[in-house]
Structure 1
């Protein structure tokens, strides 16, 4: 188990989170949690407990509290950035130009017509306007305008 007790794996307050590297209890109270099981068992923490040393240590922790929270915040921001980069690396970048022919996802345009044996895409449609990068206005090949805008994730290039 890599040095973890079964209690650590159950998600109790003494299990550090990946994003901050700190336990939720430590972030809230600036001290490590003592699990109820540890109170009844002999451990290094319970054997070496001294009231004076403990109160001095708690006062010292208060002085460092803001620095530790800032460090945890920085770790959390790095974690979120890495998660966003990982997500973005798996995204397929799609862009279309005016006059391109595209297929539209049927589940997005007509959810009621969805079914196992139904086609997944409908069209082709012509891109008539790029509203902003990734968002397009479409029209049918006969020139009838489609009223909604469509995101590139719901469109696919049509090849003749």
Structure 2
């Protein structure tokens, strides 16, 4: 995780020196809202059980923003939070499967 964030900061700062503080929030937002290959989910959704609203959607008044209703949103958030534990369990199973396949591939190459 830290290596990914540092590398992203380096890429964003190639032409601009000393502005890492301004770019840090953008890099962290991008990291938190991009699906990870291992889990297929974003760290944001794993934490909050919902998709993140990208700032561009707010400024352009996307359909997600224009159809927003507070009461309906609250009901959906409660429903999402109720299912969050199951969501995490599914990801834990995928993680275990990935680790087992990785170990098998590694062990196949080991010579006794």
TM-score grouping bracket, smaller chain normalisation: 0.5 to 0.7
- Structure 1 stretches of 4+ with a deviation exceeding 3 A read none
Higher helix proportion: 2
Root-mean-square deviation (CA, aligned residues, Å) is: 2.1
Structure with greater contact order relative to length (CA < 8 Å, sep ≥ 6): 2
Equivalence for 2:23 = none
Cross-structure match for 2:58: 39
1:21·1:75 contact (CA, 8 Å) conserved in 2?
no
What's the TM-score once normalised by structure 1's chain length? 0.47
Determine which of 3, 10, 19 is the counterpart of 2:38.
19
Q: How does 1:1-80 map to 2 (within 5 A)?
A: 11-80=30-99
Q: Report SS of the residue matched to 1:13.
A: helix
More strand as a share of residues? 1
Query: Structure 2: which 5+ runs fail to align?
Result: 1-25
Contact 2:48 2:81 in 1 (8 A): no
Give the length in aligned residue pairs. Answer: 85
Larger Rg belongs to: 1
User: CA offset at residue 12 of structure 1?
Assistant: 3.0
State how far apart, in whole Å, the 1-side matches of 2:73 and 2:99 are.
Answer: 35
